[in-house]
């Protein structure tokens, strides 16, 4: 049954179209930490910032490395928590105070 | 205990390319020790821009050589592993006429050293950067030799190449100290083992300071925080890296291979700020000036913001070569913001120092750590700004 499923790609990261096969290819190169996998594959670097894919990746790694999910280092979370429209940033106080470009 | 011919501390761009250049000269028994993940220092945080259009002879000559290597490597073995060089150029846009005059002076220097920069008018600028609004622009300087690549793809390609050539790369392993007394080091001590080595190379970015301090050697480097953000991905809108020269803090924008727009600008900053500080004010300050030239930026979203260090020396040039007092200890750090682009030439220079006792590029010989003690700092040929 597993083989049947694998005829279609299994998507791990929907933002960046990363499949389970892509993940396994890099794992087989000996790269098994989340920070490296994230950067090499782009997993967790799309608009969802890893909300869907990082838990899936942790589950894959946990089984492969026989470690509990708690033992795996989770990537650093970067600001902003949700994607911010630039039009919104332009209305902020920071844009008024420090975004000045006329002075030089 | 392990033994190796060469131990390299740090798996950023400089350490990986040093291993690559040593391998190409027949040195096989190499161990790379990395305290975090691959490229986890300044390499993975950088803007990925590559250019030779600098203001000192040393930078221009070294980077011209580096670009030749980027092109050569991308079409050779490393290219097969995913390394590439996208020669889309750099564009410096000018809002003032006097800036164009200054660009003309720079172009004379660049051209005399083989870098074909030139002034372009607004219609040519629009061809190169189709979506730009030229209302506030009087012209631009264009560098056709410059380009960009992906730090992640480069590091990944080097990792696979080196691994297949039997180079041992120890990740998440910290070097506690370099062991030895003048004039020889004998190896390095990690958290749990000693690795004996004939030669030790320090390519540990800002950590190079602490490693050498324990040997009583001062490395004059400071961590200057730099900020960057990336937006959502779009189809390719323009190829060059675009620099807004006349705005304080010199904002710039480049579209990565994955489609996101990487935006940076210098903001007022303290040295040694933690990499995990929050300066979310940066986001608004960086995008605001660029919206004048790219009004469509208003409609897209910022995904992520982060800090990286420019590991900076007093004369803003790298430290290359032997560590004074030692016969088998070498260092490459202090790139002051240009370490990624210099990676290929760094590997060559350090490999040549190790094997032949001097680099073949004359300009690299002056970049030793010794120059700070002797007071022989590198001078800018053209002062910009």
> Residue A101: which of B44, B160, B289 has the nearest Cβ?
B289
pLDDT tens string B296-332: 999 999 999 999 999 999 999 999 999 999 999 999 9
Query: Does residue A97 sit within a domain?
Result: no
CA A10 – CA A4 distance, rounded (Å): 11
pLDDT tens string B200-249: 999 999 999 999 999 999 999 999 999 999 999 999 999 999 999 999 99
pLDDT band with cut points at 50, 70 and 90 for residue A3? low
Query: Does residue A96 sit within a domain?
Result: no
pLDDT of residue A99: 54
pLDDT of residue B277: 84
Contacts of A98 in chain B (CB under 8 A): 267, 281, 284-285
Q: What is the dihedral of CA A37, B82, B84, B229, to 10 degrees?
A: -10
pLDDT tens string B135-164: 999 999 999 999 999 999 999 999 999 999
Number of helices and strands (H, E) in chain B? 10, 18
CA B381 – CA B86 distance, rounded (Å): 28
pLDDT band with cut points at 50, 70 and 90 for residue A4? low
Query: Does residue A82 sit within a domain?
Result: no
B111: left (phi over 0), alpha (psi -120 to 50) or beta: alpha
For chain B, say whether A79 makes contact (Cβ under 8 Å). yes
Q: Is the pLDDT of residue A5 over 80?
A: no
Contacts of B152 in chain A (CB under 8 A): 39-40
For chain B, say whether A40 makes contact (Cβ under 8 Å). yes
Nearest C-alpha of chain B: how many angstroms from A85? 4
Contacts of A84 in chain B (CB under 8 A): 283, 301-302
For chain B, say whether A14 makes contact (Cβ under 8 Å). no
Find, among B167, B158, B196, the residue nearest to B2 by Cα.
B196
Nearest C-alpha of chain B: how many angstroms from A39? 6
Sorted by where each starts, the structural domains of chain B and their CATH numbers stand as 2-67+151-221+314-374 (3.50.50.60), 90-144+222-312 (3.30.9.10)
Interface touch B285/A46, C-beta < 8 Å = no
Interface touch B171/A36, C-beta < 8 Å = yes
> Residue A99: which of B246, B284, B303 has the nearest Cβ?
B284
Residue B86 sits at φ, ψ, to 5 deg, of: -100, 100
Max CA pair span of chain A = 67
Q: Is the pLDDT of residue B174 over 60?
A: yes
Nearest C-alpha of chain A: how many angstroms from B273? 16
CA distances to B9, B65, B78, B106, B332 from B82, rounded to whole Å, are: 24, 21, 7, 34, 25
What is the percentage of chain B residues whose pLDDT exceeds 70? 98
Interface touch A86/B231, C-beta < 8 Å = yes
Q: Which residues of B347-376 are buried (b: 16+ CB within 10 A; e: fewer)?
A: bbbbbbbbeeeebebebbebbbbebbeeee
pLDDT of residue B213: 96
pLDDT of residue A6: 60
Interface touch A30/B163, C-beta < 8 Å = yes
Lowest mean pLDDT among A8-22, B9-23, B267-281: B267-281
pLDDT tens string B327-381: 999 999 999 999 999 999 999 999 999 999 999 999 999 999 999 999 999 987 7
E-assigned strands of chain B?
2-9, 30-33, 49-50, 90-94, 118-120, 139-143, 147-148, 168-170, 175-181, 184-190, 194-202, 222-233, 241-244, 252-255, 260-264, 301-312, 319-322, 329-333
CA B176 – CA B182 distance, rounded (Å): 18
pTM: 0.95
Query: Does residue A98 sit within a domain?
Result: no
For chain B, say whether A51 makes contact (Cβ under 8 Å). no
Mean pLDDT computed over A12-33:
94
- CB under 8 Å to B317, separation ≥6 — which residues? B56, B58, B59, B334, B336, B367, B378
pLDDT of residue A98: 56
Interface touch A33/B172, C-beta < 8 Å = yes
Domain that holds residue A67: 2-76
pLDDT of residue B269: 82
For chain B, say whether A102 makes contact (Cβ under 8 Å). no
CA A84 – CA B154 distance, rounded (Å): 29
ipTM of the predicted structure? Answer: 0.90
Q: Are B22 and B28 in contact (CB under 8 A)?
A: no
Query: Does residue A95 sit within a domain?
Result: no
Find, among B102, B101, B97, B67, the residue nearest to B85 by Cα.
B67
Q: Residue A26 maps to which CATH number?
A: 1.10.10.1100
| Number of domains, chain A | 1
> Residue A94: which of B285, B299, B302 has the nearest Cβ?
B285
């Amino acid at each position: 049954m597993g083989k049947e499923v694998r005829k279609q790609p299994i998507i791990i990261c929907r933002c960046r179209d990363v499949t389970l096969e892509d993940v396994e290819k890099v794992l087989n190169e000996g790269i098994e930490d989340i920070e490296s996998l994230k950067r090499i594959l782009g997993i967790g670097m799309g608009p969802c910032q890893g909300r869907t894919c990082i838990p899936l990746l942790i589950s894959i790694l946990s089984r492969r490395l026989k470690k509990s999910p708690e033992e795996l280092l989770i990537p650093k979370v970067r600001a902003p928590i949700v994607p911010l429209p630039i039009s919104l940033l332009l209305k902020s106080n920071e844009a008024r105070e420090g975004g000045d470009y006329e002075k030089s | 205990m392990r033994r190796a011919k060469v131990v390299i501390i740090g798996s950023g761009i400089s350490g990986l390319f040093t291993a690559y250049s040593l391998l190409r000269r027949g040195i096989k028994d190499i161990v790379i020790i990395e305290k975090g993940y691959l490229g986890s220092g300044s390499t993975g945080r950088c803007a990925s821009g590559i250019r030779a259009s600098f203001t000192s002879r040393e930078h221009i000559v070294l980077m011209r050589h580096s670009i030749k290597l980027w092109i050569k490597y991308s079409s050779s073995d490393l290219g097969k592993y995913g390394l590439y060089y996208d020669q889309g150029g750099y564009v410096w846009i000018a809002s003032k006429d006097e800036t164009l005059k200054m660009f003309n002076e720079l172009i004379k220097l660049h051209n005399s050293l083989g870098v074909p920069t030139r002034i372009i008018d607004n219609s040519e600028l629009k061809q190169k950067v189709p979506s730009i609004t030229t209302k506030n622009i009087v012209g631009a300087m264009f560098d056709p030799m410059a380009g960009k690549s992906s730090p992640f793809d480069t590091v990944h390609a080097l990792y696979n190449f080196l691994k297949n050539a039997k180079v041992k790369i120890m990740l998440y392993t910290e070097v506690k100290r370099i062991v030895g007394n003048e004039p020889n080091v004998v190896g390095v001590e990690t958290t749990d083992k000693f690795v004996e080595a004939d030669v030790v190379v320090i390519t540990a970015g800002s950590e190079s300071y602490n490693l050498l301090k324990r040997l009583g050697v001062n490395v004059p480097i400071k961590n200057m925080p730099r900020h960057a953000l990336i937006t959502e991905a779009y189809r390719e809108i323009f190829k060059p890296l675009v620099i807004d020269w006349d705005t304080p803090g010199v904002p710039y924008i480049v579209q990565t291979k994955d489609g996101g727009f990487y935006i940076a600008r210098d903001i007022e900053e303290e040295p040694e700020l933690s990499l995990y500080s929050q300066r979310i004010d940066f986001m608004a300050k960086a995008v605001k000036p660029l919206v004048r030239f790219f009004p469509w930026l208003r409609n897209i979203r910022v995904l992520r913001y982060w800090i990286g260090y420019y590991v900076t020396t007093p004369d803003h040039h790298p430290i290359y070569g032997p560590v004074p007092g030692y016969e088998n200890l070498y260092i490459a750090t202090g790139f002051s913001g240009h370490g990624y682009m210099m990676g290929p030439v760094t590997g060559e220079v350090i490999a040549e120092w190790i094997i032949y006792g001097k680099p073949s590029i004359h300009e690299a010989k002056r970049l030793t750590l010794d120059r700070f003690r002797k007071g022989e700092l590198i001078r800018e040929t053209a002062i910009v700004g």
